[in-house]
Amino acid sequence: MGKILFFGGVVLLVLGGLGALVFMKPLLLGQGSMFPNLMAVLILGALPIAAGLALVSIGGRRGKIESENDERGFSEMTVALARKNGGAVALDQVCKASGLAKDEAQARMRALTGQGLFDMDFDANGQVLWKLTGPASPQLVSRS
């Protein structure tokens, strides 16, 4: 939703700029009445530009919140999956659970490794395996 708002704001900025340019020439050259030309510049130029700036700002903030929520949901899902599987998770399991392509899932898992949530290891077949570390580790979580 944030991307849609952002690009909608950009479209309004462009249309408002074009509207202002079209009606600015008669206003500056003194052609016709001044009041209708001024109103045309304000209505067809300034208002869309103001709305476009607002949408760009709102879209940027909303996009940031959406990406943070997406990252948080991914890390919670992988931790739950790893705990379910004895503290380790394979890339195929992450892809199935998240619906992401292997490249993107691997990049996100490497980011979680960089944050100290997982350690990379290899299983007997040479497949990459991510093991929980620190407070998220199943050995440190008390079971009641």
DSSP of the chain: -HHHHHHHHHHHHHHHHHHHHHHHHHHHHT-S-HHHHHHHHIIIIIHHHHHHHHHHHHHHHHHHHHHHHHHHHHHHHHHHHHHHTTSEEEHHHHHHHH---HHHHHHHHHHHHHTTSEEEEE-TTS-EEEEE-GGGSTTTS---
pLDDT of res. 62 = 92
Q: For each successive 10 residues of the chain (144 residues), what is the average pLDDT?
A: 90 92 81 82 90 94 87 88 89 88 90 88 83 66 42
pLDDT of residue 134: 67
Topology of the domain covering 85-144: Arc Repressor Mutant, subunit A (1.10.10)
Check: CB of residue 87 under 8 Å from CB of residue 132: yes
CA gap 119, 115 in Å, rounded: 10
**pLDDT score at 144:** 39
Give the global pTM: 0.61
Can you tell me the distance from the alpha carbon of 1 to that of 25, in angstroms, rounded to the nearest whole number? 37
